[in-house]
Amino acid sequence: MNQRITIDPITRLEGHGKIEIFLDDKGNVANTYFQIPELRGFERFCVGRPIEEMPLITNRICGVCPEAHNMAASKAGDMAYKVDPPRTAKLLRELLYSAFYCTDHTTHFYALGGPDFVMGPDAPVAERNILGVIHKVGLEIGGKVIQMRKYGHTVVEMIGGRKVHPCTSIPGGMTKGITEEQRKEIEEMGRWAIDFAQFSLKLFNDIVLGNKAYVDLILGDVYTHRTYYMGMVDENNKINFYDGKVRVVDPNGKEFVKYAPKEYAEHIAEHVEPWTYLKFPYLKKVGWKGFVDGIDSGVYMATPLSRLNASDGMATPRAQEEYEKFYATLGGKPVHQRLATHWARLVELLYAAERWVELVTDTEITSTNIHAKPTQIPTQGIGIVEAPRGTLTHHYWTDERGIVTKLNLIVGTTNNYAPIQMSTNKAATSLIKDGMVNEGLLNMVEMAFRAYDPCFGCATHSLPGQMPLEVTVRDVDGNPIEVLKQFC
């Protein structure tokens, strides 16, 4: 008799999701579905609002990465109004964004992904969390993690007006700048962040790379897929989170396409399935071939590992050294082992910290020339940034008054939904045999999605515009009296 295993809720991610694993008569995996049961309706209720409100509204999609939505929406507003923000405004935006990146990558490594390695995949559930990590590595390291997050949020508040959901980035630039006193404080925090990033890389080297079992797990076939890789790069094909062109390389590491934000629709399409609220983006010129990898499949990935694979290096010296060590250790480019994403994330953490210091020491960072007033009639606007979880695209259509008539959001995690589905299915198929299932194995299935650091609060779309609802009415003893269903 067929058996159904449900992991609900899945843990250590942003948002909500569940994994349904179906076993055949022999107890082996027949299929796995990574389902997203929640609905976020931003593409509907943003219609009718002024485009200049989009940086404030869309950053409410998520409390984890509101800065990414704020920046993408602001850049889309710049394009819609055909206005080029002053250089200082761009510097301030990227400075805020770099500090945010440090905070976000720190959170994932230590609180979400790290417990699987620091504590071990089979560690008791009660210990496989941030508290277990701190207990094992020491309170001092826990203090450093808290300090890094504090510094990042302090910079976001100084530049963005609020620690969460920043509000100063608007079409044409910024509404406020920083003083010399603030600049000095931000620089001091940035230099501390560089030390913290280097410390985190050493910790990874000692705990993960120093453990043969973990290295074998990373390099093994269970968590490996050969797909296309996407990431934003500057004019030298070096990684940039805030601005540049989107570069895609094929599974062999060869450049497939490099496009400007306004060209994204020529290259990206979205596939839908009836069993989830998420869409599955793919490369138009390759086509949707299903949940398969290889050069003939249009599936691509957009993560820290993808950005390293899609680039020719890092734009800061210390991060470049780590980039070279990364590929030398793992056998050259591109790296297809998904668990290596955790290491790539720390290389990016160092880059973000170095970039933070570069930006805050720029001589124009305290200039008061921070906004260019939009004067032209708005039309369409497209803004792209690299969210920590992948390439984030905001596309708005407006009328002549700047009122949004239509919008499309391709969120970082949305790019990765097909690879996540493939990874969880492959992990389940590889690990579950003859009906032998335990909590440790199921956690290793969860590790397949955790490498992508998915945010399903951001990523969820609704194709039919209806949300299934089931309400069970129970008596005082908990016995069901009536079940009410809508769209189920």
CA atoms within 13 A on the CB side of 393: 26
Lowest mean pLDDT among 38-42, 120-124, 130-134: 38-42
What whole-number distance in Å separates Cα of residue 468 and Cα of residue 112?
Answer: 30
Q: What is the mean pLDDT of the chain?
A: 91
In this predicted model, what pLDDT tens digit does every residue of 186-205 receive, in sequence order? Answer: 999 999 999 999 999 999 99
Name the residue with higher pLDDT: 381 or 465.
381
User: Is the confidence at residue 466, as pLDDT, over 80?
Assistant: no
Report whether pLDDT(471) > 50: yes
What is the chain's alpha carbon radius of gyration, rounded to the nearest angstrom?
22
Q: Which DSSP letter does residue 163 get? A: S
Q: How confident is the model at residue 122 (pLDDT cuts 50, 70, 90)?
A: confident
| H/E element, 301 | strand 300-301
**CA–CA dist 375, 380 (Å, integer):** 15
Q: Hunting for tokens 């609220």 — which residue is that?
A: 277
386 phi, psi to nearest 5 deg? -95, 105
Residue 77's pLDDT is 97
- The residue type at 424: T
In this structure, of 11-20, 341-350, 406-415, the range with the lowest mean pLDDT score is 11-20
From the CB of residue 406, how many other CB atoms can be counted at a distance below 10 Å?
A: 12
Mean pLDDT of 394-408: 96
Phi and psi at 161, nearest 5°, equal 90, -25
Share of the chain above pLDDT 70, in %: 95
Query: pLDDT band at 158, cuts 50/70/90?
Result: very high
| Residue range 160-188: mean pLDDT, rounded | 96
Question: What pTM does this model have?
Answer: 0.90
Arithmetic mean of pLDDT, 128-149: 88
Does 407 score more than 60 pLDDT?
yes
Is-contact 8 35, C-beta < 8 A? no
pLDDT of residue 465: 42
Asked if the model's pLDDT at residue 488 lies above 70, the reply is: no
The CA-atom distances, in angstroms, between 452 and each of 14, 287, 315, 414 are 11, 23, 23, 11
User: What is the CB neighbour count within 10 angstroms for residue 375?
Assistant: 9
Neighbour order of strands in the sheet with 245-249: 255-259, 245-249, 228-233, 300-301
> How confident is the model over 352-374, as a mean pLDDT?
98
* Tokens (6 digits) for 200: 């985190």
Please report the pLDDT score of residue 171 as a whole number: 95
**With contact defined as beta carbons under 8 Å apart, do 309 and 334 qualify?**
yes
The encoded tokens of residue 294 equal: 């290889």
pLDDT band at 389 (very low <50, low <70, confident <90, very high): very high
Q: Does position 54 have pLDDT exceeding 80, yes or no?
A: yes
Q: Which residues contact 446 (CB under 8 A, 6 or more apart)?
A: 7, 10, 11, 12, 19
CA torsion sign, 313 to 111 to 113 to 21? Answer: negative
Grade residue 486 by pLDDT with cuts at 50, 70 and 90. Answer: low
DSSP state of 275: T
Helices and strands in the chain, H and E counts:
16, 16
**Residue 3: predicted pLDDT:** 85
Mean pLDDT across 95-108: 96
Rounded mean pLDDT of 272-285? 89
- Among 159, 214, 211, CA closest to 190: 159
- Above 50 in pLDDT, residue 463? no
Write out pLDDT tens, residues 318-354.
Answer: 999 999 999 999 999 999 999 999 999 999 999 999 9
pLDDT score of 460: 54
- What gap in Å lies between CA 68 and CA 75, rounded to an integer? 11
- Would you call the peptide bond into 9 cis, given omega within 30 degrees of 0 as the criterion? yes
Q: For 348, how many CA atoms within 13 A lie in the half-sphere containing its CB?
A: 36
When mean pLDDT is compared over 30-34, 90-94, 276-280, the highest value belongs to 90-94
